[in-house]
Structure 1
Amino acid sequence: MARAVHALRWRLGLLGLLATGGCVRPHYFQADAHLPVRAAEASEQAARYTAGRQYARHGGLYEVFFGQHHRRTWAAAVAAPVFDLATAAPGGALRPGKLGGGFNSTSLGLKAADDRPYVLRTVDKDPRRSVPHWLRNTVFANYLRDNVSATHPYAALAVPPLARAVGVPHTHPRLYYVRPEDPALAGDSLAKLRGQLVWLEEKFSGDARPADAVPGATALLSSPAFYKHLLADPHHRPDPAALLRARLLDAWLGDWDRHAGQWTWAQVPAPGAAPGRFRYQPVPKDRDMVFYRAADGVVPWLLTRRFAERKWNTFRPAFHDPLGLLQQGHYLDEHGLVGLTAGQFRAAAAAMQRQLTDAVIDSALHLLPPAAYALEGPGLAAALRQRRAALPGVAAALYRKLSRRPTVGGTAGAERFVVRRYADSTTVAVYAGALGADSLLLARTFFKRETKVITLEGLEGADVFEVIAGGPRAARGPRLAIYGNPGARPPAPGPGVTYATAPRRSAHAYSRPAEE
């Protein structure tokens, strides 16, 4: 009898959830982050704010179906200074600029008196803007809005010391409260900022001071600008070691939203090279998905399976799908990490394990607001320690993924691709004559046990492709798929080698623009 009553209660609860979520709620968000203080407490208690107390208004049954997420942290009372354009930035009074933001957040560009650019972003999001118009007034929009509670509202505060420990560039986000009546932010266009908790952080874009992001940097580029340089000129190369550190940090933090639009690239003169050659270090932006927790309810668990939104990877003590977690940054990995060996992947993971000490983890998490730390700090620390132990396995999985079907690309200039094939391996070396004596762009050995197909893309220029067989069984190694332009010199025909002059049209074409 008790079991039947329990089952009936679940069915009625689910029907109630669906019935009440049939259309989008017009007043979904909290009107003001400020929590009123009773007059008797006014002299004893500082102002308190919540990032989004609307996420904690549901009962236990709702959380069974849609997840507990970080709801209690969103509703926890925290302290924050009031935002003031005159004093918020160390470089002098801020001047409001252009209103922006992606599909989720609202942001305002700012510039300090010393011309350093900043951005003011809301902590809370509204993903309703990212869905088609015909879905915006449906239960689906309600779900997407509610799913913002899967993000941790204050995780960005813990990232800087963790990134600094492993040598990854970072911003310095600071939490503020914007007064509803702030005269400096008046006007209908800024309504979504007023009365909200916001982040103020440096805007690492083309008009920023490059050295503020990376010491020694001479310029900052967006991803489209960087990849344009990368495909056009061999003098511009990624820094693979720096990119690998950044990507392993992404995985460790559970930050799955690392598409090309989430990065700026710092141009640094290549050490020991002739003037005019540059390496580009990645500068991560927008750490909104750190500690993301989605798959703790029936509906989000189903939505985050491999056949659905695999990228919505839940942060937990054990990595359950590291390749799904990293898939948003596959374009970066394919272009920037192809030259690294398995040993270099292992060494990078081992170095991070040494650098991310218990003391570093604990001090970083204590930067969370006290109420947020009390709710989740010890659990997050334990999870980060367990994930730290698993970093070599994550590095190995990423290496295997990138080594299975690698693409080695050239530039718009003339390159020489030299391939030496052996029974158990294939070595690829790429030389760019435009660089002079030190013309080697990339050299890597791919092993038969790891690699099925090696794709070479010469892009433009009078490229030369040489394929050299190192013995009678050389064709048993990885197959070669070579793409050259009509003006290139093709390789001699041979078994296991295909050559085409038509450019690749697939999603993994080396020259395909990065998606932001």
Structure 2
Amino acid sequence: MTYSLRTVDKRSAKILPLPIRKTFIANVVRDQASALHPYGALVVAPLAQAAGVPHATPRLVYVRPGEAHFDQYEEKLSDRLYMLEEKYNDQRAISGEIAGAHDIVGPNKMLNHRYEENDHFIDQLAFARARLLDLLIGDWDRHVGQWEWAEYKENGEHLYRPIPKDRDNAFYRFGGGLFSWLFSRKWAIRKFESFTADYKDVKALMINSEFFDARAMPHVTGEQFDSLAHVLQKEISDQVIEQAVRQLPKEVYLLQRKELASQLKSRRDKLDEAAREFYEILSVRVLVVGTDKEDRFEVKRMAGGDTEVVVRRKSDKVVMYRRVFLPAETKEIVLHGLAENDIFWVRGEADKGIQIKIVGGRGQDEIYDTSEVQGWGKKTWVYDTPRETKLEGGPETKDKTSRKPEVNFFDREGYRR
């Protein structure tokens, strides 16, 4: 096992260039740093334990002045308070809740494996559970780099389960001063959502994680979100919350125990409502992404506007993805074929329909659209390069093929967020 030593005192203004360290911008940065709860990670660990989400268990340590063991870093690191916590970054950390894992990998390696191979999958329900815990504690900064992934080998497949890290923004309180109040408005920097007893803006808690949420949970339905929320409401009992808050240093506990426990209980009780809103935001536009192997995408439009999407491996016809989308929830489904020779079938008749965008990707793709939807506007848009694409369209097909290779671009690692 390896460990990290993370300072409790966050002095973010030091990262600014010298010319602006004495300007109002530095004040805004200090405001943001002061919004962090310095001991929040201590409270998160027991909550994650109860929720069944893998986690580090940090503890406070003080490095004494003149500590010789730091050698050349002694002057820089001594006489400061730190969080000492486990790092889940390689096989040495496989123990406890993830004892059955084969390996631990970073997010970019996980995503590359997921898209390059057709036997590598994300445990989407496990990720959804972890994201609901993020909602509960108000952690708005869950971007790609905030996760490690435990890799399991099950029934000949590779399955990745999330390990959250870096809880600096749990119980974040922003908006007390003039600058922070202005910057936290929806029309300014909306993502700075302050932790309160209510979920004032679920969307704000999703902004930094938008890229990863779209790729790691396209399979999870509203009913599954509801079920996960109800389970967490039972698992995170009043007793669990009280014990979690007790992890704060004594002096801080005496100051905050009532307010923080009360806010957590309130958010726990409303988690099902927040989970439903979370799901509804996710479901407006859904990515369904294939692999660099040969895949088959099947879209069936049904009466009433429901739309079934199935993705199969062409090699053995095993279903890798299946979900029925509802027009009241979803406005657009984007299918990405990535590499190799993929097949897309769109069929069925409906009185209304969800917009389908097909991005064929590299390879000699075949796209067939025989669907019919009443009303104005074409509901199947096709993006690919025309040279190697076989397109047999119908009344719903809009040909958006282009000679420009970027028509097939798919962001695998978040470079264009």
- Structure 1 and Structure 2 fold alike (TM over 0.5): yes
State the alpha-carbon separation in 2 of the partners of residues 481 and 163 from structure 1. 38
Question: 2:255 aligned with 1:378, yes or no?
Answer: no
Question: 2:365 aligned with 1:488, yes or no?
Answer: yes
User: Considering only CA atoms, is the larger Rg found in Structure 1 or Structure 2?
Assistant: 1
Partner of 1:465: 344
Cα distance, 1:149 vs structure 2: 1.8
125, 130, 155: which one pairs with 2:40?
155
Cα distance, 1:146 vs structure 2: 4.5
State the alpha-carbon separation in 1 of the partners of residues 245 and 263 from structure 2. 12
State the alpha-carbon separation in 2 of the partners of residues 121 and 404 from structure 1. 38
Cα distance, 1:142 vs structure 2: 3.8
CA deviation profile, 1:256-280 (whole Å, cap 9, x unmatched):
111111110000123xx3x2x1111
Partner of 2:98: 214
261, 267, 274: which one pairs with 1:394?
274
Q: What is the one-letter code of the residue matched to 1:379? A: E
Cα distance, 1:207 vs structure 2: 5.0
Cα distance, 1:180 vs structure 2: 1.8
Question: 2:164 aligned with 1:281, yes or no?
Answer: no
Question: 2:185 aligned with 1:305, yes or no?
Answer: yes
Partner of 2:354: 478
SS in 2 for 1:379: helix
State the alpha-carbon separation in 2 of the partners of residues 118 and 213 from structure 1. 17
CA deviation profile, 1:160-187 (whole Å, cap 9, x unmatched):
1110111100001111001120011132
Question: 2:25 aligned with 1:140, yes or no?
Answer: yes
CA deviation profile, 1:362-414 (whole Å, cap 9, x unmatched):
01111111111111111000001111111111111111111111110101111
Partner of 2:393: none
SS in 1 for 2:100: coil
The gaps in structure 1 that reach 5 residues or longer are: 1-115
Partner of 1:323: 203
Question: 2:132 aligned with 1:248, yes or no?
Answer: yes
Partner of 1:513: 413
Which segment drifts farther, 159-168 or 146-155? 146-155
Cα distance, 1:243 vs structure 2: 0.3
Question: 2:379 aligned with 1:500, yes or no?
Answer: no
Q: How does 1:35-434 map to 2 (within 5 A)?
A: 116-132=1-17, 134-187=19-72, 189=73, 191-212=75-96, 214-270=98-154, 273=155, 275=156, 277-422=157-302, 423-434=304-315
Q: Is the Cα contact below 8 Å between 2:312 and 2:320 reproduced in 1?
A: yes
Partner of 2:325: 446
Q: Is the Cα contact below 8 Å between 1:459 and 1:511 reproduced in 2?
A: no
The 3 A distance-change label for structure 1 pair 509 and 166 is farther
CA deviation profile, 1:256-305 (whole Å, cap 9, x unmatched):
111111110000123xx3x2x11111100111111110122332111111
The 3 A distance-change label for structure 1 pair 509 and 126 is farther
Q: What is the one-letter code of the residue matched to 2:365? A: A
Q: What is the one-letter code of the residue matched to 1:186? A: D
Cα distance, 1:504 vs structure 2: 9.2
SS in 1 for 2:230: helix
SS in 2 for 1:491: strand
> What's the TM-score, normalizing by structure 2?
0.88
SS in 1 for 2:95: helix
Q: Is the Cα contact below 8 Å between 2:305 and 2:326 reproduced in 1?
A: yes
State the alpha-carbon separation in 2 of the partners of residues 512 and 505 from structure 1. 14
Q: What is the one-letter code of the residue matched to 2:323? A: R
Q: Is the Cα contact below 8 Å between 2:345 and 2:367 reproduced in 1?
A: yes
Q: What is the one-letter code of the residue matched to 1:257? A: D
State the alpha-carbon separation in 2 of the partners of residues 373 and 198 from structure 1. 18
Higher strand share: 2
SS in 1 for 2:358: strand
Q: Is the Cα contact below 8 Å between 1:117 and 1:207 reproduced in 2?
A: no
Matched positions, count: 390
State the alpha-carbon separation in 1 of the partners of residues 333 and 409 from structure 2. 13
State the alpha-carbon separation in 2 of the partners of residues 372 and 181 from structure 1. 28
Cα distance, 1:128 vs structure 2: 2.5
Q: Is the Cα contact below 8 Å between 2:138 and 2:170 reproduced in 1?
A: yes
> What's the TM-score, normalizing by structure 1?
0.72
SS in 2 for 1:158: helix
The 3 A distance-change label for structure 1 pair 480 and 256 is same
State the alpha-carbon separation in 2 of the partners of residues 504 and 351 from structure 1. 46
The gaps in structure 2 that reach 5 residues or longer are: 372-377, 386-403
Q: What is the one-letter code of the residue matched to 1:490? A: I
Cα distance, 1:491 vs structure 2: 2.0
Q: Is the Cα contact below 8 Å between 2:67 and 2:74 reproduced in 1?
A: no
Partner of 2:392: none
CA deviation profile, 1:32-61 (whole Å, cap 9, x unmatched):
xxxxxxxxxxxxxxxxxxxxxxxxxxxxxx
* Aligned-CA RMSD value: 2.1
Q: What is the one-letter code of the residue matched to 2:312? A: Y
Q: Percent of aligned positions with the same letter in both sequences?
A: 35
The 3 A distance-change label for structure 1 pair 197 and 493 is same
